[in-house]
Chains A and B, each alone.
Chain A
């Protein structure tokens, strides 16, 4: 080491110099204390520096805020596939609340942070739903069970594995009966494990329970085909779609897959014709809002309508017809349309009454749709529960005829009618075991609560449609001690195997032999795992025979609609589902696509009925003993009130508890079926209840916001409804230089004809861009933070309006009004056409918010992260794990908005640069477009003349929102084309 010296003295004798210095200091101090020598008091340069230093240090200590200590632990040995800062994607499978979706899990630094659609899936085809998008946040839910609980106290799995088999054996020995209550299980491996388990414990009966049941449909199919299954539908092959009370784009069976199929037929330029969609329903559903023609009926009239439709078709086919009252509107036109498209049409019904479903089957049969648009050969397996079996079991529990229950991932105390009674009965059983992921009402009364893993933590497989398999693999090590049903059952039978091995063995034995492409199992396994899906080569489309005689007894049971004054319909809200994921703040805050209400359920009444009852929004009414706030819903049947299920949880996490009312209690059992539409007693009661609405004005006021035409007009004139576009384009005159985009010019096109308004993009964006959840009160204050909102408008008759959905995000105007008004240049235009926000620079004057004609800018009214007043996912370490590290968390007082997912653009640009090539068209996918189940969003580079986006921008249907303002948006909309007869 080099030696540095200050003086010759120090060099020669450094210790002496130091000693001298020390003694000098000592003398100084002494003198100061004793005050003997005055001249010692004169402060030296040294003193000055000391005082100066102390005061600086003191000031720094006093002034500095507490800095949070954050620990980062580096990898000692870096795993091969992990590159810090680079995301990995794993194919997996979502199946919750009877909804199936094949997904890709984006994992950053060991944390799953985003769900993407899997393009290889032949079912969901890269689409997801809002709930699938939000499911990643449920992984980081603080209300999850962390360890096994015995009577509410934490215990260990070792103890559980010792105690449970003992108990099971004891019950078996005493001759008692047990029930294994699960939701519909579509995992072939898990089913085989259950079968083995049941073989050992013959005293256990396995019952599948769906919170919202399709039992009526299953029964109908059993009667008609001798096969208890749901058909697989092919809406992409249907030119005419008739749906009676089936919200197939929102909640019915498999909306993501249906939306994919449906939207592929919504292109007016299709050679073999855009589909025509008739919706017959009593409440305004998401599906009804997209229909070409919509008819409003009482809920109890659906059988009558179907039978009328059947008769009209049967007459032509010389099939037996049945006596029935005339429907409230003529179905002849629909029948004609169906008859003209035999084998290319589809009739669906959402009823849980087998009679209705039998008629639907008969219609589809007569039209020759089986094997084309409806498939009873390769059936859908996502709902298998039988209402009768469940009702019987509940009766047995209530009567204490059964020794115990193992409730797996079900919550009947909450979602079965008379749940309170069940709650008491379960707590009296000898044995009550609940396997649950997060706190729920049923687990709360069980003796033993075992944590289930989140689907992203465990191995699994599934077969949603016969012959179409998919795999789930863990994307993260278990956060808590969750263990899946299969592992539990195996353990209790003494099989100690990792579930990966169990699944793998099952596939080796049962699925690998079904194919002959891959010769070795290992390569088959790796390929299937990488793809996430494996489809059998399709078998012969031979359909089971339809027993036409089986319809007689059902058809005769349909007579006429109810005559009582009011009826109530219980439905699932799009996105919110049956309430199992209600504690997910993204889901809870997502506005319902139709009503635009978040955080609550409500009684939807028609505008006419509201006048009759003398109520307005937020007034309370009493519906069958349930006090609910009124929401006036255009398109609602006049005498029908609809109320969403899935709310009113009381033993869940902070988000779900107390949001809305639990209306499962209103459901009635009729002939062994849970009936979701009932006679209602309705009266106005005193009081109001606030609803958080994100949109309160529903009329376009004659402005050209959503431009539309009917198909016939469009066929004649390509710019039908969009005549203004050419006019405005010709008026774009400016004194200024045209903006120059040398390399790229990013743009987005949204097809309003394909978009169904489902809200997937809103949540995908929220997940990608760390958008804050702000709670009911702030949503009610109209401060929702969503970067991408979906505007919904109505037109014409309020009792049966036409509905429009329009996703609106930052339009990235090339002549942006927000940019020139910012005093600090915090929002500027990039040379790639993106309107950018510099959060650090923003001082929050909100002038840009005011001056944005689209009002897409969002202000951070409060500190939304680390704030106990906003106790959502950004206020705890667990919840924060979902945050995307590529996107800054915005501080209080700054403005934020859609960035066109600039982090994704940058990533792909860098990839292209490394490969020394240009960015390919379609390579960059923003979060909203990646998983859009309707393929309504296209993103790309306008500088590339061959890109999809360039072609869409030249399309005669393309226009820009408020283009007359010369804001030159980079977002284009394609006009809405309805395939209806009347303009």
Chain B
């Protein structure tokens, strides 16, 4: 339970409940600002570039990418893992903090979940596109069919991956959506526009706010939260098995599942920070997303960064300790000193060292600094995936097969396209959806005196 005496106020500015609703709904009701159109325009241009790249990929073939006989996966898989990692944060954020009853999450979880859904959508594009015959993607679906029936290979991590990701997308989208129903109802009730009334009315599923509804609502969020909590761990563990199940040095590692989950949370939290600092700035949400919130996330990041550093060190240690010459070559000669050493050291510096700056309170409290460091982590996590995917494949067992990889412009455009999609998605979220969970914030806003807090707890326990 949140302890106000220790952490200070969650919502600043002494707002009434009505004021909170008004403040949060304000961006939806106000005239769309100019910067929104500009950003949306840029995002859409990026999205179009991505569409072009998709067109080329599907019509010409994967040959339009920079891959070769040795490096069979490239930017597509890097970006897939990167986006999935980012897509982790929302759910991880909401669920873990919900289960741990960390009330400070209420100001941030809605944005984090929105980010999750969009990021998972971005991620999901890549496994589809990287297929040589995308038009036959349904071969991966396990359903009784007229082709024999031919079943999928239940041993393949790619199949597990498919199941995990679709389940994750389903659960996190529902969790996010159901969380918004009361807020949609609030908009429906307050808006003056007929259209908005109808639209938000439709999406609020006739929510009236009766006690019965709230009761069911709470039960549902805990059930979904419970399922999602498992998924948060499983999805990235399974993505890790895409690599760990293989026999290739640098992939065939038991550390991968936990290391991937932590890495995902790391990148996700960093992206949350990036987004939330922007949101705070753009919509002047300082009262809701306070310095304390940013501070809390930054502290979490220090801790995860230490885990990441440990993981990197462990990998190197095991490469030496295992006495496997392939593993040793991969980690030391190839990753640390080889052709792609820049990417390795960029990863270490961005992920293990730069976040350590958060030990300093001054930096944690400096929103610009926090924003920049969060970007470094995002970049660092991208490099981590680059290291895993590319350096491993470029130099594996037989030196005769060693080959270099660099992306073609098509692959770069595909990535830009997903950035555009993410940007557009997030902008739509800013514009049409209450970006902070109104009803949840209300639950922590008014009762910020210790006595009231206790009373509320008492009330809950009844």
Q: Do residues A847 and B398 form an inter-chain contact, with CB atoms below 8 A? A: no
Task: Determine if A862 is an interface residue (Cβ-Cβ < 8 Å).
Answer: yes
Residues of B146-173 at the interface with A, using a CB-CB cut-off of 8 Å, are: 150-153, 155-159, 162
Determine, out of B67-75, B185-193, B416-424, the stretch whose residues face the partner at the interface: B67-75
Q: Do residues B140 and A705 form an inter-chain contact, with CB atoms below 8 A? A: no
B126 to chain A, nearest CB (A): 11
Contact of B245 among A705, A789, A821, A858 (CB under 8 A): A821
Determine, out of B16-24, B127-135, B285-293, B445-453, the stretch whose residues face the partner at the interface: B127-135
Contact residues in A for B137 (Cβ distance below 8 Å)? 843
Q: Do residues B401 and A855 form an inter-chain contact, with CB atoms below 8 A? A: yes
Instruction: Give Cα A368–Cα B153 distance, bound, in whole angstroms.
Output: 68
Q: Do residues A823 and B140 form an inter-chain contact, with CB atoms below 8 A? A: yes
Contact of A821 among B130, B162, B246, B402 (CB under 8 A): B246
Task: Determine if A678 is an interface residue (Cβ-Cβ < 8 Å).
Answer: no
Contact of A703 among B69, B136, B399 (CB under 8 A): B399
Residues of A247-296 at the interface with B, using a CB-CB cut-off of 8 Å, are: none
Q: Do residues A817 and B247 form an inter-chain contact, with CB atoms below 8 A? A: yes
Q: Do residues A845 and B67 form an inter-chain contact, with CB atoms below 8 A? A: no
Q: Do residues B152 and A698 form an inter-chain contact, with CB atoms below 8 A? A: no
Residues of A849-899 at the interface with B, using a CB-CB cut-off of 8 Å, are: 849-851, 853-855, 857-863, 891-895
Residues of B379-403 at the interface with A, using a CB-CB cut-off of 8 Å, are: 393, 395-403
Assuming the A-B contacts A808-B398, A844-B132, A894-B132, are A862 and B63 also in contact, with contact meaning beta carbons closer than 8 angstroms in the complex?
yes
Instruction: Give Cα A825–Cα B148 distance, bound, in whole angstroms.
Output: 13
Residues of B327-352 at the interface with A, using a CB-CB cut-off of 8 Å, are: 329
Assuming the A-B contacts A820-B155, A821-B246, A823-B158, are A855 and B399 also in contact, with contact meaning beta carbons closer than 8 angstroms in the complex?
no
Assuming the A-B contacts A846-B73, A892-B133, are A861 and B62 also in contact, with contact meaning beta carbons closer than 8 angstroms in the complex?
yes
Contact residues in A for B444 (Cβ distance below 8 Å)? none
Assuming the A-B contacts A697-B402, A850-B393, A965-B247, are A823 and B156 also in contact, with contact meaning beta carbons closer than 8 angstroms in the complex?
yes
Instruction: Give Cα A501–Cα B275 distance, bound, in whole angstroms.
Output: 89
Task: Determine if A429 is an interface residue (Cβ-Cβ < 8 Å).
Answer: no
Instruction: Give Cα A967–Cα B156 distance, bound, in whole angstroms.
Output: 17
Task: Determine if A784 is an interface residue (Cβ-Cβ < 8 Å).
Answer: yes
Task: Determine if A778 is an interface residue (Cβ-Cβ < 8 Å).
Answer: yes
Contact of A893 among B67, B133, B152 (CB under 8 A): B133
Task: Determine if A717 is an interface residue (Cβ-Cβ < 8 Å).
Answer: no
Instruction: Give Cα A851–Cα B242 distance, bound, in whole angstroms.
Output: 10
Contact of B132 among A778, A782, A859, A961 (CB under 8 A): A859
B265 to chain A, nearest CB (A): 26
Residues 11-45 of B, flagged 1 when their CB comes within 8 A of A and 0 if not, give: 00000000000000000000000000000000000
Task: Determine if A469 is an interface residue (Cβ-Cβ < 8 Å).
Answer: no
Contact of B63 among A793, A853, A861, A895 (CB under 8 A): A861
Task: Determine if B60 is an interface residue (Cβ-Cβ < 8 Å).
Answer: yes
Task: Determine if A51 is an interface residue (Cβ-Cβ < 8 Å).
Answer: no
Instruction: Give Cα A781–Cα B70 distance, bound, in whole angstroms.
Output: 11
Assuming the A-B contacts A859-B72, A892-B61, are A703 and B397 also in contact, with contact meaning beta carbons closer than 8 angstroms in the complex?
yes
Q: Do residues B396 and A855 form an inter-chain contact, with CB atoms below 8 A? A: yes
Residues of A831-848 at the interface with B, using a CB-CB cut-off of 8 Å, are: 841-847
In terms of DSSP, what is the predominant structure of the interface of chain B?
Answer: loop
Among A695, A823, A825, A841, find the residue whose CB has the most chain B CB atoms closer than 10 A: A823
Contact residues in A for B150 (Cβ distance below 8 Å)? 824-825, 841
B241 to chain A, nearest CB (A): 10
Residues 697-740 of A, flagged 1 when their CB comes within 8 A of B and 0 if not, give: 11111110100000000000000000000000000000000000
Among B70, B72, B127, B325, find the residue whose CB has the most chain A CB atoms closer than 10 A: B72
Task: Determine if B248 is an interface residue (Cβ-Cβ < 8 Å).
Answer: yes
Instruction: Give Cα A294–Cα B320 distance, bound, in whole angstroms.
Output: 38
Instruction: Give Cα A849–Cα B153 distance, bound, in whole angstroms.
Output: 17
Q: Do residues A696 and B158 form an inter-chain contact, with CB atoms below 8 A? A: no
Assuming the A-B contacts A842-B132, A843-B131, A965-B247, are A821 and B63 also in contact, with contact meaning beta carbons closer than 8 angstroms in the complex?
no
Task: Determine if A783 is an interface residue (Cβ-Cβ < 8 Å).
Answer: yes
Task: Determine if B359 is an interface residue (Cβ-Cβ < 8 Å).
Answer: no
Task: Determine if B139 is an interface residue (Cβ-Cβ < 8 Å).
Answer: yes
Q: Do residues A845 and B402 form an inter-chain contact, with CB atoms below 8 A? A: no
A819 to chain B, nearest CB (A): 8
Number of chain B residues whose Cβ lies closer than 8 Å to a Cβ of chain A: 49
Instruction: Give Cα A265–Cα B101 distance, bound, in whole angstroms.
Output: 81
B161 to chain A, nearest CB (A): 8
Residue on B nearest A704 in the bound complex, by CB: B325
Residues 112-142 of B, flagged 1 when their CB comes within 8 A of A and 0 if not, give: 0000000000000001001111101101100
Instruction: Give Cα A611–Cα B326 distance, bound, in whole angstroms.
Output: 31
Q: Do residues A822 and B156 form an inter-chain contact, with CB atoms below 8 A? A: yes
Contact residues in B for A705 (Cβ distance below 8 Å)? 398-399
Contact residues in B for A857 (Cβ distance below 8 Å)? 69
Q: Do residues A846 and B132 form an inter-chain contact, with CB atoms below 8 A? A: yes
Instruction: Give Cα A843–Cα B63 distance, bound, in whole angstroms.
Output: 15
A205 to chain B, nearest CB (A): 52
Residue on B nearest A705 in the bound complex, by CB: B398
Task: Determine if A298 is an interface residue (Cβ-Cβ < 8 Å).
Answer: no
Q: Do residues A858 and B153 form an inter-chain contact, with CB atoms below 8 A? A: no
Assuming the A-B contacts A825-B153, A855-B70, A855-B401, are A846 and B63 also in contact, with contact meaning beta carbons closer than 8 angstroms in the complex?
no
Instruction: Give Cα A700–Cα B398 distance, bound, in whole angstroms.
Output: 8
Q: Do residues A784 and B400 form an inter-chain contact, with CB atoms below 8 A? A: no
Q: Do residues B140 and A850 form an inter-chain contact, with CB atoms below 8 A? A: no
Contact residues in A for B61 (Cβ distance below 8 Å)? 860-863, 892-893
Contact of A782 among B70, B133, B156 (CB under 8 A): B70
B142 to chain A, nearest CB (A): 10
Instruction: Give Cα A823–Cα B62 distance, bound, in whole angstroms.
Output: 19
A854 to chain B, nearest CB (A): 6
Task: Determine if A476 is an interface residue (Cβ-Cβ < 8 Å).
Answer: no
Q: Do residues B140 and A843 form an inter-chain contact, with CB atoms below 8 A? A: yes
Contact residues in A for B152 (Cβ distance below 8 Å)? 823-825
Instruction: Give Cα A857–Cα B326 distance, bound, in whole angstroms.
Output: 21
Contact residues in B for A529 (Cβ distance below 8 Å)? none
Residues of B68-89 at the interface with A, using a CB-CB cut-off of 8 Å, are: 68-70, 72-73
Residue on A nearest B326 in the bound complex, by CB: A703
Residues of A582-640 at the interface with B, using a CB-CB cut-off of 8 Å, are: none
Assuming the A-B contacts A778-B63, A823-B140, are A850 and B73 also in contact, with contact meaning beta carbons closer than 8 angstroms in the complex?
yes
Task: Determine if A791 is an interface residue (Cβ-Cβ < 8 Å).
Answer: yes
Residue on A nearest B160 in the bound complex, by CB: A823
Instruction: Give Cα A855–Cα B392 distance, bound, in whole angstroms.
Output: 13
Q: Do residues A967 and B247 form an inter-chain contact, with CB atoms below 8 A? A: yes
Contact residues in A for B156 (Cβ distance below 8 Å)? 820-823, 847
Q: Do residues B162 and A849 form an inter-chain contact, with CB atoms below 8 A? A: no
Instruction: Give Cα A700–Cα B388 distance, bound, in whole angstroms.
Output: 23
Task: Determine if A393 is an interface residue (Cβ-Cβ < 8 Å).
Answer: no
CB<8 Å pairs between A and B, sample of 16 = A695-B400, A696-B402, A699-B399, A702-B325, A781-B66, A789-B400, A793-B400, A821-B155, A824-B152, A842-B132, A845-B131, A847-B157, A849-B69, A857-B69, A859-B132, A965-B247
> CB within 8 Å of A: which residues of B?
60-63, 66-70, 72-73, 127, 130-134, 136-137, 139-140, 150-153, 155-159, 162, 242, 245-248, 325-326, 329, 393, 395-403
> CB within 8 Å of B: which residues of A?
695-703, 705, 778, 781-784, 789, 791-793, 806, 808, 817, 820-825, 841-847, 849-851, 853-855, 857-863, 891-895, 961-962, 965, 967
4 extra interface residue pairs, beta carbon distance < 8 Å, beyond A703-B397, A843-B137: A703-B326, A808-B400, A822-B158, A894-B132
4 shortest interchain CB distances as A-B pairs: A844-B132, A893-B132, A861-B63, A791-B400
